Chain A
Amino acid sequence: MSGMLMLKTMKRHGFIPLIVIAQVAFALVVLVNTGSLLRQQFAPMLAASGVPAGEVLITHQLNAHDSDRSHWSYADLRTAERAIRAMPGVIAVSGGMGTPMTVDRMFLHNTLSNARTGQNAGADMFAGDHLVGALGLRVVRGRDFDESDYVTGGFMDIYRQVRTVVITQTLAHRLFPGGHAVGQGLWLSRKPSKDRDPLRVVGVVNDTLDSNMAGGHAHNLLLLPFRMNGFGQVSFLVRAKPAQRDAVMKRLPAVLGQALGMHGAQAVKVERYEDARAARLHGNAVTSWLLLAVLATVSVVVVLGITGLSGFWVQKRTREIGIQRALGARRGDILRQYQFENLLVVCVGAALGVLLGLIVAEWLRMHFELTSPPLMAWTVGALVLVMFGQLAVLGPALRASRVPPVVATRGA
């Protein structure tokens, strides 16, 4: 059957193809956007944590108020670190600010720049005493901090005094593409500072998760050799042997509470790294399920919608099909005709959907800096809908192909 004749038939029953086209267009918009939202939710759930399983503990932020003081000196924190390290099973301890999963509610985020090329990247920063050891990270290139790197001081000293940094592989790749990061300089800001030298990268460690795991750069992380002096809030990272971690976790509040002179152990909250991560990602998990439910619903709705309308269309055209058969069309011809019609309609719908989606995405991008789903996503979405369309029309098309030629002689 020629295309022109088919178009004429479709025009006569205009409203059914039109409704299918509109449904496909909106379905495509929903599918593609939901899919890209789903990917954003999934990214941090799939990101590797990079820390040894079953070893790391994180304390929530401790408040100096709970020991009736306005702040703690480094000497206080060192006493606490020593007390923790003395516990059986403890491998490494670090007091610091900025922790994975932001369990201490504090996080440092800066735009860093390559001192030579100006290439920049946003990254979270952890400042602490023995972070590489306490997180159980692997030094991939260069070295860990040594005693001469450490700076003891107040908050501004992070920016004024610290001269060396350790960065993750991903961040090294972003800031120093195609070269060795170790020995290179970087700034803790977008622009160079005038009266200072850039900070030097002394080591690169394997990727680990940053503070809030948002925005697709969960592995951009920078470690600073810093001993906090005169801070009102601090948190601790503790790494213990897997077999003894739970015992350490149980005793840690009492040990820390005593070492820092806090009232009672209940002011110290400790979480396992894995639990903190799961808790932080709970929202992502729920949102992902919701989005998956939306995807499933849209798929079912669009398939049932096309099936229903095609079924009705076949029923309306039973006599016409009978005549075609009587005039020599084979069953396969009828089947193919309906599938082709469906392909045409779905393609038009998908094209309109892409157009609509891109227009709205562009508008959103212009006004609200929203990124639009990539073209690839639209292509995949359109292909999926074509598949759904063919699947949905299969039943009605088979029914149409089984209409006997004798129907032509019946009725009016």
Chain B
Amino acid sequence: MAKACYALHLAWRGMRRHPRTSVMVVAVMALGLAACMSVLAIFHALTADPVPGRSGQTQTIIFPAKGQKLESIEALMPVGPVQQVVDRLPDLPVAAVASGTTRVRPSSDPSRKSESDTAVMFATARIPKVFGISLLRGHWWTAADDRNGAPVAVIGIDTARRLFGTDDVLGKSIRLDKKRFRVIGVHAAWRPALKFYSQRGGQYARDMAGVMVPLLSGDGVDVQMYGMSCPLSQLTDKWKQCRFSQLWSYGLDAGQRQRFLSVATQVVQGFYKPPPGVTPIAYQSRLLNVREWLILQHTVPDSVRAYVWVALAFLALCLLNAAGVLAARFLRRGAELGVRRALGASRRDVFVQHLIESGSLSMVAGVIALPLMLGAFSLMRAQNIPYGDLIRFNVSTFLALCVATLVTGLAVGVYPAWRAAVVPPALQVKQN
């Protein structure tokens, strides 16, 4: 204990003796840590597993023509064929999903101004099984409701409270755009880290679907959507031709996968039947799990990967710089160290003393890096970047910073401290 205190005391003296290099080491390490950790935090947020434990089992289907490059748009199909696929596989956990935003309000209260741009998910009956959404009240709609396009809705508990001020909303009605839907169920909050079932920029949206309705009931509702093949935001009359629905499945075994693939391909092939005499397109359908789907969509923008690489190199530069400065500083004390060694200090004592000195410098750097990171985050959030909403400082970011500080402190300190520890006492006394 006393020894540790002494080492600490020596470290403190060491820092005070070289205020200029101490400031430099701290500044350089703080900059390196802040820059690198900020970029890594963004990268982490963008690569987070949206459905932990399920993402490998959750698969979507994509329909590229033979020999064609895989493009995410090929996963989207018009509502007709996807509904048909779901109907033809009644025993499999398969559902069709389309998501977008529209105006939602309680229909009982016509005076209330409708909330604009509420996220709505249009889906088929087996969606709770496929995405793992649990129900709190009431019931989900049935396959028959799917086929009839029944105007019924299952809304999230948050949405229920926001619209009606209570959880007890069964039997009440809401209006999506101008169409009236009866609320038949309330589902638990469901917030994947990324809106993986959306397309393009929609994946970064923070608002998860708070309203779910049968796919075909969306006819006549004016919905704004990302990632359609028709660049229209008014779907009312284009509902039938536009490609914006996607099929998702969960936990299929090999045989079921095969069946899903062949049925879906058959349906799509039938839907896009060319006039007689023209060769039909040969589809090479594939299943993609959530991870593969996100990669295909470039959910992590390429620029972010470039920034990660630059930030890592920057951190390496900063650490090398700090290590160099510290090594020079420790070895300048050669004579004094020689005396200490000659007076009986062990190699370990000298090593620990210097490790503590560099460790405390890196600790200070870590503390300074924290406000730097917060500043960088708020600066980035203020910018108009698509994934801005995902950039936030949380506990895991803080813990990562602590670990990084510790590791860099060691990385920077071990080599110089070892160099200081191995100088033989006799030589040092003799020199200079």
The closest CB in chain B to the CB of A22 belongs to: B320
| Cβ-defined contact, A309 with B328, below 8 A | yes
CB nearest to A27 among chain B residues: B317
With a CB–CB cut-off of 8 A, which chain B residues contact A22? 316, 320
Smallest CB separation, B259 vs chain A (Å): 33
Whether B283 is near chain A, meaning CB under 8 Å from some CB there, is no
Q: How many A-B residue pairs have CB under 8 A?
A: 111
Give B residues with C-beta under 8 Å from A.
21, 24, 28, 31, 35, 222, 230-234, 236, 302-303, 305-307, 309-310, 313-314, 316-318, 320-321, 323-325, 327-328, 331-332, 379, 382-385, 415, 419, 430-432
Q: Mark A94-109, 1 if CB is under 8 A from B, else 0.
A: 0000000000001010
- Shortest distance between the CB of A406 and any CB in chain B (Å): 16
What residue of chain A has the Cβ atom nearest to residue B322's Cβ?
A305
Nearest A-chain residue to B415, judged by Cβ: A15
The answer to whether the Cβ of A301 comes within 8 Å of any Cβ in the partner chain is: yes
Cα distance A412–B432 when bound, in Å?
6
A135 to chain B, nearest CB (A): 22
Known contacts A282-B383, A283-B385, A15 near B309 by CB under 8 Å: no
The 6 A-B pairs with the shortest beta carbon distances in the complex, nearest first, are A312-B328, A26-B317, A232-B234, A305-B321, A19-B324, A29-B313
Interface contact B431-A412, CB-CB below 8 Å: yes
Closest to A37 in B: B306
Complex contacts, A155 vs chain B, CB 8 Å: 230-232
- Pick the residue among A30, A108, A308 that contacts B231 (CB under 8 A): A108
Task: Pick from B234, B302, B379: contact of A368, CB below 8 A.
Answer: B302
Residue of B nearest to A41 (CB): B303
B310 to chain A, nearest CB (A): 5
A184 interface residue per 8 A CB criterion: no
- Please state if B324 and A364 are interface contacts (CB–CB under 8 Å): no
* B321/A23 in contact, CB under 8 A: yes
If A155-B231, A370-B302 touch, whether A30 touches B321 (CB-CB below 8 Å) is no
- The answer to whether B314 and A30 have CB atoms under 8 Å apart is yes
List, in ascending order, chain B residues with CB within 8 A of A23's CB. 317, 320-321, 324
| C-alpha gap A297/B311 in the complex (Å) | 13
In the assembled complex, the Cα of A342 lies from the Cα of B305 at a distance in Å of 33
Pick from A233, A301, A311: contact of B317, CB below 8 A: A301
Chain A residues with CB under 8 A of B306: 33, 37, 364, 370
Bound-state CA distance A287–B379 (Å) is 10
Q: Is the CB of A301 within 8 A of B318?
A: yes
The complex places the Cα of A16 from the Cα of B35 at a distance, in Å, of 26
Do the beta carbons of B324 and A308 come within 8 Å of each other?
yes
A70 x B234 contact (CB < 8 A) = yes
Contact for B432 among A232, A302, A411, CB less than 8 A? A411
Contact of B35 among A294, A312, A370 (CB under 8 A): A294
Residues of B within 8 A of A27 (CB): 317
- Rounded to whole Å, the gap between the CB of B327 and the closest CB of chain A is 7
Asked if A305 and B305 sit within 8 Å, CB to CB, the answer is no
B233 touches A19 (CB 8 A): no
Residues of chain B lying within 8 A (CB to CB) of residue A30: 310, 313-314, 317
* Chain A 73-102 interface 0/1 with B at a Cβ cutoff of 8 Å (1 = within): 000000000000000000000000000000
List B contacts of A70 (CB < 8 A): 222, 234, 236
Complex CA gap A37/B332 in Å reads 40
B68 nearest CB across to chain A (Å): 12
How near does chain A come to B389, taking the closest CB pair, in angstroms?
15
Q: Which of B24, B31, B327, B431 contacts A15 (CB 8 A)?
A: B327
A297 x B31 contact (CB < 8 A): yes
List 18 A-B residue pairs with CB atoms under 8 Å apart, sorted by A's residue number. Answer: A15-B327, A15-B419, A16-B327, A16-B328, A19-B327, A20-B324, A23-B320, A23-B324, A29-B310, A29-B313, A30-B313, A65-B222, A106-B233, A294-B314, A316-B331, A364-B305, A368-B302, A412-B431
